[in-house]
Amino acid sequence: MANKLAIVTGGNKGIGFAIVKALCQHFEGDVYLTARDVQRGEKAVKELNALGLKPKFYQLDITDDGSISNFKTYLEKNHSGINVLVNNAAIAFKMAATEPFSVQAEETLRVNYFSLQKVCDALFPLLLPGARVVNVSSSAGHLSNIPGIELRQTLSSPELTVDKLDSLMQQFIESAKQGNHEDFGWPSRAYAVSKVGVSALTIIQQRQFNSDSDIIVNSVHPGYVDTDMTSHKGPLTIDEGAVAPVYLALLPEGEKNIRGKYIWCDKTVRDWYKN
């Protein structure tokens, strides 16, 4: 139970797969590739085994409360705590998607924001001193993607709480159903709202850890990567997309500055509040 532990959600393909690969190469400990689909997850593990890497696999559906609970129980029984958590699992509707915007809004926020938060709520108590958490955001997760001035002010307030942020995300869903979300200052891009939520949540999470812990939480834009999510239009390889997330996952002990930040794919800190 003494081995260090790293966990990557949504690790069976794309950026998540590349993050698992890089952690297997550079992290001294056990690396868990988690995925919703067992067959795809085990196939991904075999691909990494062929490269001489030894990730472990565990089935995790971040949208299923029971699945999250089972994973937590398993970790408690088999490991002494978590050193690295990379929240990568996410969805994005295609531009040509035929689902109504209200459906896209609810499902995108359910997976990308609320389910990510549920994973954090379950696993944060298992984080060890010095743990590193990486919330995979996006360039779409920059605050500037929110048109409403008052809404941006609320999202950037140092007084913003998780409960208030949850309410704002729910307000977007409900207004999308009513068709008046733009009146409240929201964009007509559900993915952007979900990732702005992730970026804002990251800041709150770090604030909660600052008082008595060396635990560090950051969000990251991995770049425009050639994946299924981008319909393979991104110019970066998945390995290039993994660079910044892995950099944050392996921040050295005693890091003082890169805490609760929004990190670009070139590993630089970007001002989340300003263009």
Q: What's at 6, amino acid-wise?
A: A
Q: What's the pLDDT at 252?
A: 95
* Annotated catalytic residue 32: no
**Exactly one of 58, 191, 247, 262 is catalytic; which is it?**
191
Residues of the chain falling short of pLDDT 70: 1-2
In tens, the pLDDT along 46-101 reads: 999 999 999 999 999 999 999 999 999 999 999 999 999 999 999 999 989 999 99
- pTM score, whole prediction: 0.97
Q: Which structure tokens are listed for 5?
A: 């532990």
Partner residues linked to 262 by β-bridges = 219, 270
Domain ranges of the chain: 5-94+118-138+198-270
Q: How far apart are CA 235 and CA 226, in angstroms?
A: 6
Give, in degrees to the nearest 5, the angle at Cα 76 between 74 and 79. 95
Its CATH class, for the domain covering 5-94+118-138+198-270, is alpha beta
pLDDT tens-digit series, residues 216-230: 999 999 999 988 888
